[in-house]
Amino acid sequence: MSRPALLTINAGSSSLKFALFPAEGDQPLASGLADRIGPEGTLTVKAADGTPLTGAAHPEISSHAAALRSALTILLAAFPDLEITAVGHRVVHGGPDHAAPLLLDEARIAELARLEPFAPLHQPHNLAGVRAAMEAFPRAAQVACFDTAFHRSHPFVNDTFALPRSYYEKGIRRYGFHGLSYEYIAGEIARIAPRLAEGKLVVAHLGNGASVCAIQNGKSVASTMGFSALDGLPMGTRSGQIDPGVILYLMDQEGLSAAAISDLLYKKSGLLGMSGLSNDMRVLEAATDPRAAEAIDYFVFRVQREIGAMAAALGGIDALVFCGGIGENARGIRARICSRMAWMGIELDHARNEANTLIISSELSRAQVMVIRTNEELVIARAVRALVNHSERSAA
């Protein structure tokens, strides 16, 4: 007799995270990561106890779709008695209309595909994962969980651009991203420090994609990312904030097409473009090339600047929280970011920072500094259960 289970799929710009959950409970049965998707990528799948699960000697991970197929082959072989009854997908862009998880069918997939120009580095991968899951599990409910949904509470001033109002009505506005990660962090703060959760939090999600979010009373107030996932901080391959005049110059003087500019800003800029070496912070930290050091310097400076901007949006700061691959693991980068934050009441405890403890600020720090490992998969799993259960009750 088969046991029901649900699968979560989280496609990033260069990675694919996935987790297999039982029908009830927050502890996954297995989870995995396809990292650095492409010719030199790696695929890791582990059971709940950390035991590696393996399949082919050289799994195919040349693309997001191929990585998903390889992951499913391993998971289904390891758990042959499970029936996948629901699949939850991280979908980066929900547009102005979707602020809650959504059951997917072909019409809604087509609707979300029209948002691909808003998030060309992510949305196509997200929807490719949906279609692959529909093919693999045709009877399972497919649920989209949107990265933009958490930010729909922004006040107008943090949601608009200074363009004619008609463009705002057409959907050209600041959406913000990494919402699933921020939702998890806000929930964890509420669980472990309820009084702090009512205060003013600045959360830095730092990874190949990076942003900073201002949160008060569990609600997003402002975010460094805007209309697209290009805005704000420099990232692995994305430029971050750039003067619009640069775009006009590239068009008029360099003769670049819209497609060429998109490729430049999304895939050839950021840490990769500045260093000329890599989009991976681990590689840059180990490099001796001065361009790598300059790329890191710029990244640190921009994070410091945007933390200050988010604190200004809140009118103060009670805690700074690091999450994401860089935020959770790059101790040296965290230390450098915090090194010029004393004016905000931030003082790092370097021993705690090296030990990667939950609280890495000193006892004298007026604002707490924390490291929380984000868990977008758990947010997706909980949302899928809630939506599917509600749908079943409504149909009964």
- Could you list the active site residues? 147
Going across the sheet that includes 82-91, the strands are: 42-47, 30-35, 16-22, 3-11, 82-91, 141-146, 102-103
Cα-based distances in Å from 288 to 28, 277, 293, 298, 331: 40, 11, 8, 16, 19
Report which of 107, 63, 116, 81 is spatially closest to residue 4, judged by C-alpha positions.
Answer: 81
SS3 396: coil
The DSSP annotation for 201-238 comes to EEEEEESSSEEEEEEETTEEEEES--SSTTSSS--SS-
Q: Is there a contact between 196 and 230 (Cβ–Cβ < 8 Å)?
A: no
SS3 1: coil
SS3 content of the chain, % helix, strand, coil (to 5): 45, 20, 35
Task: State the alpha helices, DSSP H only, in 315-359.
Answer: 324-329, 331-338, 350-355
Those residues whose C-beta lies under 8 Å from the C-beta of residue 190, and which sit 6 or more positions away, are 197, 218
Q: Is there a contact between 222 and 152 (Cβ–Cβ < 8 Å)?
A: no
SS3 48: coil
* Residue 181 half-sphere exposure toward CB, CA atoms < 13 A: 27
The number of beta carbons lying within 10 Å of the beta carbon of residue 235 is 28
Q: Determine phi and psi for 202, rounding to 5 degrees.
A: -115, 120
Cα-based distances in Å from 3 to 28, 214, 266, 386: 14, 41, 42, 19
